[in-house]
């Protein structure tokens, strides 16, 4: 059976890491499969949202310590390091991180090291009550190199990033919720259904607006205020499709639109 299960239905692409015997650790094969799956998701007009999860009791334990990491330690050259900048772990962490379509991580268990990086690379994270998050790299003699530090700082702040990376101790789902690492924690059996409800909320919206909003959020991070405001104004006032937006406004006027609140 494939190390990555891919299913598409109802405009959602489901990507399931499938190495339960290795806690869904990413070996070179799974890295390649993820890269190909994210490219396919990006290019397939039949799907607009992706849900990433894992089989068994882990979301992802990170890069495989037997097959992925040792060749890098033993054989990496300066040229390889430069080339690797373009191709982060699993594609979504770096290289395919600008896919405009929304991505949801349904964190079903352990998200460790590169697995944490993969979860953080998704736009929205929903956690099972059994989920655990950790950055254990310092125990092995290195630290995050595929977006973990950057996204921890941007998402949770320097305090959380410093404690997690310097202690190399895990946190549970409720702690992750308090520090904004995940948007919600749900019962384990309700995890996928909750992720699907989040996806459904996204899918009822204008996808042009959704993708422009995601692009804008990524573009404004770390910029000075005036640049942030300029980017938001440019993107916001150019994000609409005239025919679609006027049609959606008419549904609002007629009180026939979904999700009125």
Q: Which residues lie below 8 Å from residue 238, measured CB to CB, with a gap of 6+?
A: 212
DSSP class of residue 82 equals: H
Query: Would you say 63 and 25 are in contact if contact means Cβ atoms under 8 Å apart?
Result: yes
Point out the catalytic residue in the list 7, 36, 75, 117: 117
Point out the catalytic residue in the list 21, 36, 137, 243: 137
Query: Would you say 106 and 53 are in contact if contact means Cβ atoms under 8 Å apart?
Result: yes
Q: How far is CA 244 from the centre of its chain?
A: 28
CB hemisphere CA count around 198 (13 angstroms)? 25
CA–CA distance from 163 to each of 114, 155, 250 (Å)? Answer: 17, 14, 51
Beta strand 132-134 with 171-172 is antiparallel
Phi, psi of 103 (to 5 degrees): -130, 140
Phi, psi of 57 (to 5 degrees): -100, 15
Query: Would you say 215 and 100 are in contact if contact means Cβ atoms under 8 Å apart?
Result: yes
169: annotated active-site residue: no
75: annotated active-site residue: no
Query: Which residues have a catalytic role annotated?
Result: 117, 137
């Amino acid at each position: 059976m494939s190390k990555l299960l891919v299913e598409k239905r109802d405009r959602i692409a489901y990507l399931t890491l499938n190495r339960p015997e290795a806690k869904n650790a990413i070996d070179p094969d799974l890295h390649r499969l993820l890269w190909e799956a994210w490219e396919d998701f990006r290019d397939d007009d039949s799907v607009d949202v992706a849900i990433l999860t894992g089989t068994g009791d882990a979301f992802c334990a990170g890069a495989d310590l037997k097959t992925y990491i040792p060749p890098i330690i033993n054989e990496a050259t300066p040229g390889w390091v430069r080339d690797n900048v373009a191709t982060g772990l699993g594609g979504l962490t770096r290289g395919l991180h600008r896919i405009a379509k929304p991505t949801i991580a349904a964190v079903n268990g352990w998200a460790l090291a590169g697995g944490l990086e993969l979860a953080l690379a998704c736009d929205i994270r929903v956690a099972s009550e059994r989920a655990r998050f950790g950055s254990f790299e310092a125990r092995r003699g290195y630290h995050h190199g595929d977006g973990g530090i950057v996204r921890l700082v941007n998402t949770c702040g320097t305090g959380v990033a410093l404690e997690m990376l310097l202690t190399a101790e895990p946190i549970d789902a409720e702690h992750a919720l308090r520090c904004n690492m995940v948007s919600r924690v749900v019962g384990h059996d309700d995890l996928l259904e909750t992720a699907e409800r989040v996806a459904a909320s996204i899918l009822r919206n204008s996808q042009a607006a959704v993708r422009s909003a995601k692009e804008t959020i990524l573009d404004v991070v770390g910029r000075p205020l005036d640049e942030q405001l300029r980017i938001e104004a440019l993107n916001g006032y150019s994000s609409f499709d005239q025919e679609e937006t006027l049609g959606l406004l008419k549904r609002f006027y007629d009180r026939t639109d979904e999700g009125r609140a």
